[in-house]
Amino acid sequence: MSAGSALELADIQYRIGAARILTDVSLRIAPGEIVCLIGPNGAGKTTLMNVITGTVQPQSGSITWQGRDVTRHGPHHRSRLGLGRTFQTSYLFDQLTLLENVALGAGGPHASGFRGLLGIGANARHLREQAGESLEMVGLGAKAHQRVSSLSHAERRKVEIAISLVSGADMVLLDEPMAGVSAEDVPDLVELIQRLATPTTSVMLVEHHMDVVLQLAHRLVVLHHGEVLAEGHPDDVMNNREVQTAYMGEEL
């Protein structure tokens, strides 16, 4: 593990049959860093997020998190170790409240259903307290007891971020957080993501809105055909001719 790295990927290979999805992907993310992962459709961005969080297992390579090899650990174990995640598609329960949705996220795979999470007793109270604190962090504490069905799309994204934070994440991975968000709500969501990055907490996101990427990124990583095409300071990466060619010849 390199000094100053919270997450380190080394020579990640992932295939589906004969098709190579990720090839020799190596990457380091430091505490407090915001790294944006960009690339054309089909470049392997979501697959890389899945590899980092344990949803899929690479055929070779290693994943080190805070000095610990987690390559063969499953997603729930990695979540407990501080890797939080949101997805492109919302998986919220519309007829439950914000608090209930986040409490379910806090309960994880060992919860004994809705009754165990949301009923009486010390465990249920603790889960609700955790959920309430997480909602406060994303600015939705006042709406904790509203149903998710009443929320705007941007607020739903905030609930998903709250779920990723509820177990005390030290790294948050956001898969297209601006997808479906109205233009007027984007600045507020950008500000929230900026606040997520602290001296001890890093952020990695996949995002297609380049104006958002340039506001957020401390560093850009470009994937193309499952390989790291370029990485570095946003200005340097955006002026890279290979990167521009990868985006169908268009200057970004």
Q: Per-block average pLDDT, block size 10, for the chain (252 residues)?
A: 72 95 96 95 93 96 96 92 89 93 72 51 77 95 96 96 91 94 96 95 94 96 95 93 75 48
Q: Is residue 252 part of a domain?
A: no
Q: Is residue 251 part of a domain?
A: no
For tokens 């470009």, what's the residue? Answer: 222
The pLDDT of residue 90 = 80
Distance CA 178, CA 209 (A): 8
The pLDDT of residue 247 = 74
Q: Is residue 189 part of a domain?
A: yes
Collapsing DSSP to helix, strand or coil, 60 comes out as strand
Work out the number of other CB atoms within 10 angstroms of the CB of residue 175: 21
Q: Is residue 109 part of a domain?
A: yes
Q: Is residue 2 part of a domain?
A: no
List the Cα angle 209/182/142 in 5-degree steps.
120
Domain count, the chain: 1
Q: What is the domain-level CATH number for residue 98?
A: 3.40.50.300
Which residue segment(s) compose the domain that 57 sits in? 7-246
The pLDDT of residue 113 = 46
The pLDDT of residue 223 = 95
Facing residues of 224 across strands? 227
The pLDDT of residue 105 = 80
Q: Is residue 1 part of a domain?
A: no
What residue type is 83 in one-letter code? L
Q: Is residue 85 part of a domain?
A: yes
Q: Which two tokens stand for residue 138?
A: 């994303």
The pLDDT of residue 249 = 57
Q: Is residue 59 part of a domain?
A: yes
